[in-house]
A and B are shown apart, each in its own frame.
Chain A
Amino acid sequence: MPDYQWPDVEHRTLIGKRISRVDSPDKVSGRARYTYDIKRPGMLFGKMLRSPYAHCKVVSIDISAAEKMPGVKAIEIVQKPGSNIHWAGDEVVAVAAVDETTAEDAIRAIKVKYQKLPHLVSDAEPPAGAGETQGPLSMDDLGDMLDNQVPENQIVAQIQQYGVSFQATEQDYKDAKEEGVPDAVLDAIRKATVHPEAAGAMKSNYQKAATQTQGDVDKAFSEADAVSEGLYGAPVITHCCMESHGSTSEWTDPDHLFVHMSTQNVSGIAGQMAEPLKIPAANVRVHQDHVGGGFGSKFGPDRWGIVTAQLSKKAGGKPVRLMLERDSELKVAGARPSAFARVKLGAKTDGTLTAWHSHSWGTGGPGGGGMPPIPYCFAVPNQHKEHTAIRNNIGPARAWRAPNHPQAAVLTMCALEDLAAKLKMDPYDFFLKNIELTKLPKVYREEFPIAAELIGWKEKWRPRGQNVSGHMARGLGLSLHTWGGRGHGSDCDLSIHPDGSVDIKMGTQDIGTGTRTCIAVVAADALGLQVDAIKLYIGDTLYPPSGGSGGSTTPGGVSSSTRRAVVDARDALFAKVAPAFNAQPDDLEAKDGSVRVKSDPSRSLSWKEACSKIGATPITCHGHNDQVASKNKPDLTNSGVGGVQMAEVEVDLDTGIAKVTKMVAVQDCGLIIDVKMAESSVLGALIMGISYSLYEEKIMDPITGRMLNPDMEFYRLAGLNDIPELKVHMMTGKGYDERGVIGLGEPPAVSPGAAISNAVANAIGVRVPFLPITPNKVLAALSQGSAQKAGA
């Protein structure tokens, strides 16, 4: 049985070290080619006509003038007259022309008549009693819930409670399963009561999405020594990928499509394009070298991706490129659902948490959305939770780095901090007092003192509002988080060639997280080579499929499949080389660019010499990691990580400007393949976190129903100037390494909002309820705080 297990610390040459990103030289020199950079011979430029209204019906479309324009090669009506449009910016007609300016002119020449319908773009607290009980669920309702990452158990509960409005066929079940609908949901649909009469009924904007009770909440509150109540929330924000969504499609013959797409899901795109285009998935080739960010928003081809193929077909197969303009990118290509809540918490005098009561609401656009997992991390023994989902016309939601967790952290950790303040406890002590309510008490107990040391918590922390000098208030805040991160299904082929070269083919993608580097480190480590000796071929459906890069599943997946392939290939090489040493294959090792006898390293061949014994055909081994953990023997990946973050802020009490002055993160992610990449992921999450905590919000105009800030001036991202000293500590060694590889992309992006909000509350003495913590909100909270004091 080959020894696939990760090598122990004495036998690692590269794993766990600080290795530079292997594709960095391409990125810093502009050589890295992104989908946006692809220019195919004879390429046409695509443009989209988008709905100006948030809710309307398409009445008529007149493309006659555009069709006659010189240089216009194809027009595709995306939503026919009669279609209902549910958000401003939705696709209506697409054009392909010889250049971009001609395509723009053609779009202007198309006349569309719309019938405006009433819209809602607000996600303010629903009026009392507005949460209409959900009727039977339509297929769209279920699709929306799945798109919005409503937890499986919530979907099942709703199906059981309300039934469905449609009769699903066996084909529907088959299709749904292929699209990744969980079995539990499919089972629930099979068993559900069907109410065909409910199909097509108008739905309220407000939907009671969840009501859950556990324990005796009333009793727990009546027996609590301290009760704190507060309002918390995080607004809708966008993904704002630097490279917008888009693709270039061309028909290489009437049945075969070649697509360059900006995606987090290379291996999963072909199937999603094949169905609407009515060709076999095997006829679709997808290629991508580099992707300029995804953050959860680039898993599907999207309507505009399918359109490039349709336009290309109409233009005789010519390549058609359609990349979203920045305003469209912000309006329609991804948003994180909002979440707000009124939370009431109860505890004993010693800080022991006893009771949680929350009424939460939020929107994920037309689908409404689900309740974030609250109370987050802490299993408060007595809980009552109600959630109202707001279905509105702001545009669809997508997975955003750690879906639902950052919102849940804000709703929970901010409420906990408020309660600690009420108990006059240091939140550091208060959180640790209740740490046994979490699933990872041991991890957090180890991480808390490290984070405290890094930020100087014990020296710097003061009770609320007691660290003010002049008009500057300073404060500290903390939060903790968790995530799964088990490796996804991944396949690869690894070849060792007779000339000593090594290559790996895998249909994965590197979304900036260091996936290439991770694969190269794992392979090179096992072969005793340097990372640059490994030639990587990724980002193409010609290579063995590997899962989409979502949910922090990539490092576990690609490292496991690579490890299995490289161990098999190395053992096959040893078998070829052993006779030359008069030794058994098991007696050999690959180290420092050589293959040698373990017991006598002087008996050695250089790597190249050893490979020359392979013969004419290369050794090629397939590596597979199954997404079902129990099928992997041994299992090289794992799930469940914990992290603690602490932030220090400075708030100008005159202007209301809050700045983060220092932030630290302590994070576990099992066995770390490359410490440098891991730290970069955490640093990036902190920076992104500071950005969404202080600046980001998708602002909708209630009158027009349009996004008011669809650009990068008014949709503000943090700049270099906004980023303070950051410190990252990765948990490694005993207790961590032996768990196997666990993903890291999401977890550190969870806590910043809560930690920063808590630091601001600690600084100014009152809670700023909602992110982003902008000057107007700080000043409003301050004046409300002093009004309350004056009234008391």
Chain B
Amino acid sequence: MRDDDSTQKNSSETAVIDEHSGVSRRDFLKISTIAAAVPVVAGPRVVLAAGEHVPVYGPGKVPIELNVNGKVYKASLEPRVTLLDALRDSLDLTGAKRVCDKGECGACTVLLDGKPVYACAMLAIEGQGKKITTIESLLEDGKLHPIQQAFVDNDGSQCGFCTPGFVVACKALLDKNPDPTAEDIRHELSGNLCRCGTYAGIRAAVAQVARKGA
């Protein structure tokens, strides 16, 4: 379970304070009133806390803008909504799956400025201003990306629920390292889990693309 309690509490009290900053709650509120006049992007108020500008969202729904697969999406969401839930429930991009919902299994893997991240382990508001790439963007004109084709050839999916996360993680691996060793593959894909037992097929799929690329 996400610790929604604390998230909610933080946003409603705008308590983004470093305990050791020496700023009292009363002082902080004063600061925030003044700093709230400084707009950075539409939406959050920005407060000065511990010498830094900190955007404060909520409470309640706030406008959110996400750049996903090169398209700009606008939504009105509570700040506690994860990037994953925003993609799935608000943008209807359901390729990334919700499985563990706490950054353990990798089924929700998306790319954030090219790097693989767990979309369940970050808030949608944190994804603003970044380029988000999901499994849905890998198809070009209906044609499978080479890593997707390699998954088909090597039977890298059974029930398929972990597959989109794995495909995105494999893409990230191959983008960074087109000719990975077996050890690289093991290491880079250790953040994704499968229950049906497709690891043998996935390993063969990555090896197939790596060989072609080399």
Contacts and interface: CB of A to CB of B under 8 A. Distances in A.
Nearest to B168: A30
A29 B195 contact: no
Given A29-B135, A29-B148, A242-B196, 8 more contacts: A20-B153, A27-B151, A28-B156, A28-B167, A292-B159, A326-B101, A717-B193, A720-B199
A718 B196 CA distance: 11
B55 interface: no
30 contacts: A21-B157, A25-B152, A27-B164, A28-B148, A28-B164, A29-B139, A30-B164, A34-B97, A36-B97, A36-B98, A100-B85, A101-B4, A101-B78, A242-B97, A242-B161, A242-B194, A290-B160, A291-B159, A292-B160, A295-B195, A326-B102, A680-B158, A681-B158, A684-B158, A684-B198, A712-B102, A720-B189, A721-B186, A721-B189, A723-B203
Contact of A720 (B96, B136, B159, B202): B202
A244 B107 CA distance: 13
Given A37-B88, A101-B4, A688-B195, A512 B101 contact: no
A101 B158 contact: no
Contact of B155 (A676, A711, A719): A676
A292 B96 CA distance: 13
Interface in B157-214: 157-164, 167, 185-187, 189-190, 192-203
Q: Which of B1, B80, B81, B92 is the most central at the interface, judged by chain A CB atoms within 10 Å of its CB?
A: B1
B111 interface: no
Nearest to A39: B92
Contacts of A386: none
Contacts of B4: 101, 104
Interface of A: 20-21, 23-34, 36-37, 39, 99-101, 104, 240-244, 290-293, 295, 323, 325-327, 511-514, 676-677, 679-681, 683-688, 691, 711-713, 717-721, 723, 726
Given A21-B155, A100-B85, A326-B102, A719 B195 contact: no
A51 to B, nearest CB: 16
Contact of A30 (B104, B136, B155, B156): B136
Interface string B106-142: 0100000000000000000000000000111011000
A240 B193 CA distance: 11
B104 A712 contact: yes
Q: Which of A20, A28, A718 is the most central at the interface, judged by chain B CB atoms within 10 Å of its CB?
A: A28
A205 B175 CA distance: 57
A31 B153 CA distance: 18
Q: Which of B94, B95, B167 is the most central at the interface, judged by chain A CB atoms within 10 Å of its CB?
A: B94
Contact of A683 (B80, B81, B97, B197): B197
B196 to A, nearest CB: 5
Contacts of B78: 99, 101
Contacts of B164: 27-30
A721 B190 contact: yes
Given A24-B151, A28-B152, A100-B89, A293 B94 contact: no
B167 A37 contact: no
Nearest to A20: B152
B15 interface: no
A719 B196 CA distance: 11
Nearest to B5: A108
Interface string B54-97: 00000000000000000000000010110001001100101111
A325 B99 CA distance: 8
A125 B92 CA distance: 51
A458 B139 CA distance: 49
B210 to A, nearest CB: 15
A28 B144 contact: yes
Closest A-B pairs by Cβ, 4 of them: A30-B95, A687-B197, A292-B161, A512-B159
B144 A712 contact: no
B192 A325 contact: no
Nearest to B92: A39
A24 B152 contact: yes
B136 to A, nearest CB: 5
B199 A24 contact: no
A705 to B, nearest CB: 18
B56 to A, nearest CB: 18
Given A28-B148, A101-B80, A686-B197, A33 B94 contact: yes
Contacts of B107: 242
Contacts of B46: none
A240 B104 contact: no
A214 B125 CA distance: 69
Given A36-B98, A719-B193, A720-B203, A242 B80 contact: no
B161 A20 contact: no
A525 B151 CA distance: 24
Contacts of A325: 1, 101
B200 A21 contact: no
Given A20-B155, A28-B152, A28-B156, A243 B203 contact: no
A685 B158 CA distance: 12
Contacts of B134: 30
Contacts of B201: 680, 683
B105 interface: yes
B130 to A, nearest CB: 20
A709 B4 CA distance: 20
Contact of B96 (A20, A30, A240): A30
Contacts of B144: 25, 28-29
A711 B3 CA distance: 14
Contacts of B1: 325, 327
B34 interface: no
Contacts of A37: 88, 94
B100 interface: yes
Nearest to B80: A101
A27 B160 contact: yes
Contacts of A32: 160
A713 B120 CA distance: 14
Q: Which of A37, A244, A676, A679 is the most central at the interface, judged by chain B CB atoms within 10 Å of its CB?
A: A37
Nearest to A714: B104
A358 B135 CA distance: 53
Nearest to A328: B1
A748 B98 CA distance: 29
A514 B158 CA distance: 7
A679 B190 CA distance: 23
B9 to A, nearest CB: 12
A24 B155 contact: yes
B200 A326 contact: no
B85 A21 contact: no
Nearest to B186: A721
A242 B97 CA distance: 9
A680 B198 contact: yes
A108 to B, nearest CB: 8
Given A27-B157, A512-B159, A243 B193 contact: no
Contacts of B96: 30
Contacts of B158: 512-514, 680-681, 684
Given A513-B158, A686-B197, A720-B189, A711 B100 contact: yes
Contacts of A30: 94-96, 134-136, 164, 167
Contact of A241 (B136, B189, B195): B195
B199 A293 contact: no
